[in-house]
């Protein structure tokens, strides 16, 4: 009942905020969002203390934590149910969603000054959908939540975004909706080729693993075709090169709190789905295609970092760096090793916290200076010491500073991929190229900080620059503490992740 309670409270809160007066909407939304945040943290503690060693939700249905299943619909020969539950992969992502939503809502108090009720209501509605994505264990239910995320994100960008908000919102919607259709086609090609009677994800995983005698198209097995279609659909959401072009536009035009959710949680929907569907349900095909998939990941790392190096808008710099970071996740997943695949999942959490912190810091600077262009400002450290100090710490976290979450995630991935059997002799080369991406990351972040934060104060506007308000800095401090906590004690989540990853490794023949 715990997952249902989170969904119900957040959904009811959405309606209450929509109906509330604008002047109270921000505070009310923050107060309501604390309820699922506290609830998810309690569930996390219960999971750590009572569900130690729990298996994978798709491969060990009897071990699913907080499970609830109620018959819902019958679609022809397929049974649909309200089926939810959590394991060591989805549990950290659930907590990331609820905590980051609360902090993003608080960070919106300063920049959002019109139609607040609708804005905060949509933020909570997006949280409902994200909770559903990470907890649903029936494909139909999962797909409803998956598509449900598009609605609030489209409106949040299109109504409250920057000058080119309509273009960015439409581009985001078209890219992700077309990707969903391609993914849907790939998945249901397998569904209709097997003897499935249920759309529960565990049943689908079992059916696809044991499927035999599948048809071929142009000499290519249906399993491979479906894998490629599903990978395309999820890779757009990640995004990876060359399916990334919607992301910078969406980030630049979106309000800062929306960028925080987009980078911090929505991109993880793609990598989470890849892990659940492609690398769990179709593990053998994933192993066979490991090298080309790893090349896509490494190209994303280098290409995203090089594009970030060429930017002058702080938001674009952080946006392109997200493409680079998600490339590491792809590399870790294809390794099929405990550190590789476990590190990839850990990197989802680490990047969610660090990217959210980076976007939030840029937002606080923009709220004060009214510019994000690197050449328009300098010497902000003297005027905004707390904000700048946290921004610098976040940037070093992005560079992989030890004792911060980013270092732990990247180290796990590199260790797991360097001698991965799935990559053969290409493993050391691909891993070394990916590691070079960190050098480029350091280059563009150090350059941006040197130009904007240090030296003599200069600002090409008439706005008064001073310390940010407490409610702007407080979410930054909380996120920074979480980044450090996860870097100092990564086993807070890495232990539960590896417990749930182990059954997947056995499928893929990993060590």
Does residue 130 register a pLDDT over 90?
Answer: yes
Contact 493, 486 (CB under 8 A): yes
Q: Taking the CA of residue 355 as centre, how many other CA atoms within 13 Å lie in the half-sphere pointing to its CB?
A: 31
Contacts for 386-389: CB closer than 8 Å, 24+ residues apart: 386/467, 386/468, 386/473, 386/476, 387/361, 387/467, 387/468, 387/472, 387/473, 387/476, 388/453
pLDDT digits (tens, 9 = 90+) for 292-312: 999 999 999 999 888 888 888
175 is written with which tokens?
A: 């890219």
Task: Answer for the pair 391, 445: CB distance below 8 angstroms, yes or no.
Answer: no
Element (H, E) at 220: strand 220-221
Three-class SS state of 217: strand
Question: If you ran DSSP here, which 8-state letter would residue 467 be given?
Answer: P
Exposed / middle / buried, residue 359 (Cβ in 10 Å: 0-12, 13-18, 19+): buried
Question: Element (H or E) spanning 71, and its range?
Answer: strand 65-75
Task: Give 42's contacts (C-beta < 8 A, 6+ positions apart).
Answer: none
Six-digit token string for 168? 């960015």
pLDDT of residue 510: 47
How many CB atoms are located within 10 Å of the residue 10 CB? 25
**Cα-trace Rg, the chain:** 22
| Residues 206-253: tens digit of each pLDDT | 888 887 767 778 778 889 999 999 999 999 998 888 888 888 888 888
Q: For 222, how many CA atoms within 13 A lie in the half-sphere containing its CB?
A: 17
End-to-end CA, the chain: 36
Residues 6+ apart with CB under 8 A from 344: 271, 275, 328, 329, 330, 331, 332, 333, 335, 413
Q: Average of pLDDT values for 242-266?
A: 89
DSSP code per residue over 390-402: HHHHHHHHHTT-T
Contact 448, 455 (CB under 8 A): no
207 vs 2: CA distance, rounded Å: 29
- Confidence band of 377 (pLDDT split at 50, 70, 90): confident
Residue 511, pLDDT above cutoff 60: no
In percent, the amount of the chain with pLDDT more than 90 equals 58
Class of residue 280 by CB neighbours under 10 A (exposed 0-12, middle 13-18, buried 19+): buried
d(CA 37, CA 16): 18
Determine contact, residues 475/483, Cβ cutoff 8 Å.
no
Residue 47 vs residue 216, higher pLDDT: 47
- Is the separation of the CB atoms in 417 and 335 below 8 Å? yes
pTM to 2 decimal places: 0.93
pLDDT, average across residues 264-277: 94
What whole-number percentage of the chain has pLDDT above 70? Answer: 98
> What's the average model confidence in pLDDT over 460-472?
76
How many angstroms from the chain centroid is the CA of residue 413?
17
């Amino acid at each position: 009942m715990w997952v249902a309670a989170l969904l119900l409270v957040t959904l009811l809160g959405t309606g209450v905020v929509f109906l509330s007066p604008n002047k109270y909407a921000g505070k009310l939304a923050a107060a309501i969002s604390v309820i699922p945040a506290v609830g998810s943290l309690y569930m996390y503690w219960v999971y750590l203390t009572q569900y130690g060693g729990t298996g994978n939700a798709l491969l060990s249905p009897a071990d699913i934590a907080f499970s609830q299943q109620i018959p819902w619909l019958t679609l022809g020969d397929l049974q649909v149910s309200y089926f939810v539950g959590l394991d060591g992969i989805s549990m950290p992502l659930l907590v990331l969603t609820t905590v980051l939503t609360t902090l993003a809502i608080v960070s919106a108090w300063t920049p959002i000054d019109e139609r607040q009720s609708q804005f905060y209501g949509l933020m909570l509605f997006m949280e409902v959908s994200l909770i559903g994505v990470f907890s649903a264990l029936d494909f139909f239910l999962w797909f409803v939540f998956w598509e449900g995320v598009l609605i609030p994100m489209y409106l949040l960008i299109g109504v409250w975004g920057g000058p080119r908000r309509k273009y960015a919102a439409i581009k985001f919607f078209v890219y992700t909706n077309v990707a969903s259709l391609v993914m849907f086609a790939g998945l249901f090609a397998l569904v209709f080729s097997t003897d499935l009677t249920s759309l529960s994800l565990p049943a689908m995983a079992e059916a696809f693993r044991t499927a035999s005698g599948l048809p071929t198209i142009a000499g290519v097995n249906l399993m491979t075709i479906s894998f490629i279609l599903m990978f395309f659909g999820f890779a757009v959401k990640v995004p990876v090169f060359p399916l990334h072009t919607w992301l910078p536009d969406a980030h630049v035009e979106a309000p800062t709190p929306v960028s925080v959710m987009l980078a911090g949680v929505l991109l993880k929907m793609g990598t989470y789905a890849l892990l659940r569907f492609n690398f769990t349900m179709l593990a053998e095909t994933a192993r066979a295609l490991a090298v080309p998939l790893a090349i896509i990941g490494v190209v994303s790392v280098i290409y995203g970092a090089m594009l970030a190096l060429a930017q002058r808008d702080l938001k674009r710099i952080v946006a392109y760096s997200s493409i680079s970071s998600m490339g590491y996740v792809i590399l870790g997943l294809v390794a099929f090793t405990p550190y590789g695949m476990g590190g990839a999942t850990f990197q989802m959490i680490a990047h969610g916290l660090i990217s959210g912190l980076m976007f939030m810091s840029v937002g606080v600077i923009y709220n004060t200076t009214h510019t994000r262009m690197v050449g328009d400002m300098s010497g902000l450290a003297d005027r905004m010491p707390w904000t700048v100090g946290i921004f610098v710490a976040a940037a070093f976290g992005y560079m992989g500073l030890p004792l911060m979450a980013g270092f732990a995630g990247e180290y796990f991935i590199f260790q797991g991929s360097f001698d991965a059997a799935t990559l053969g002799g290409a493993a050391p080369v691909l891993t070394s190229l990916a590691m070079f991406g960190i050098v480029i990351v350091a280059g563009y972040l150090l350059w941006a900080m040197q130009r904007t934060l240090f030296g003599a104060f200069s600002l090409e506007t008439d706005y008064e620059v001073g310390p940010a308000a407490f409610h702007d800095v407080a979410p930054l401090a909380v996120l920074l503490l979480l980044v450090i906590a996860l870097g100092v004690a990564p086993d807070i989540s890495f232990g539960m992740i590896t417990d749930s990853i182990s059954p997947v490794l056995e499928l893929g023949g990993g060590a």
